[in-house]
Amino acid sequence: MGAGGRWGDLDRPPLNGAALRRAVVRPGGLWTSLDVVPETGSTNADLVARAAGAPEGAVLVAEEQTAGRGRLDRRWSAPARSGLFFSVLLRPGPAVPAERWGWLPLLAGVAAATGLSRAAGVDMSLKWPNDLLVTVDGEERKTGGILAERAGGPEGGAVVVGIGINVTLRAAELPVPTAGSLALAGAAGTDRDPLLRAVLRSLERWYGDWRAAGGDPVASHVQEAYAAGCATLGRTVRAELPGGRERTGEAVALDGDGRLVLALAGGERLAVGAGDVVHLRPLPPK
């Protein structure tokens, strides 16, 4: 690895945990603690394990994850200090009925995209249900993902939301050709400290509005914002459903439960709540 080992890359300075805590942990705010660790298997797994005794608003950030997970048990890996890998502990109840908690990963996508767009100066869009997209060399690339898991006992008293964002990954470091990073998308800023502060502040605002509205996606404007930033809507997509089934149609809407509504051949409508979606037809040029 050369001099300095894994910490020898001067383009990737460590996060300043003390400064981050001063910036985001404050009386009356959502965030109650913020810890930065050099390395862990999965920030989500760590917070889920701690959820029973932890207050809402705990934030755990890792400089490197060795067993990071995405949806459908996919691995998420990246070089140390090349991105933002963090999880937050939320307790929406009793203000929000449990049947509305499924909006949390979509809400986190809106919060991350809006926060990063402002702080990094790069256009971002959302691929249903929880991928963050940027444009690299004219192509859509995944630069981030979100994973929400119930925690805190059999009643699911908490939700841990994990967010992973590729910030400074170089082309040679991409795990797959369809991946991207903020740097490859031409971001104006890639300093991870202000980027993390921006995402956490955005998440605090969106979550606060959603919880104040009892989890109503319309009253809190979460549904409207997600639809406005969703690159999946208006596209022909292939939905890869549980059980190995596939359906192809046009993604036309999000329903009140955050499911993707497909218009199928013959006029049938299908609401997809789980599975993978593949974009088949590109959006027309603007």
Work out the average pLDDT over 45-53. 92
Domains in the chain: boundaries: 5-228, 233-279
Return the CATH number of 233-279, one of 2.30.30.100, 2.60.40.10, 3.90.1530.30, 2.160.10.10: 2.30.30.100
Q: With cut-offs at 50, 70 and 90, classify the pLDDT of residue 153.
A: low
Q: What is the pTM of this model?
A: 0.92
∠ CA 164-169-172, nearest 5°, is 135
Q: What is the pLDDT of residues 55-81, one digit of tens each?
A: 999 999 999 998 755 544 556 568 999
Lowest-confidence segment of 10-24, 228-242, 272-286 by average pLDDT: 272-286
pLDDT at 11: 79
Q: According to the model, what pLDDT value does residue 76 have? A: 58
pLDDT digits (tens, 9 = 90+) for 113-126: 999 999 999 999 99
Percentage of residues in the chain with pLDDT exceeding 70? 90
pLDDT higher than 60, residue 283: no
Q: What is the pLDDT of residue 96?
A: 96
Is CATH 3.30.930.10 correct for 5-228? Answer: yes
Q: Chain-wide mean pLDDT for the chain?
A: 91
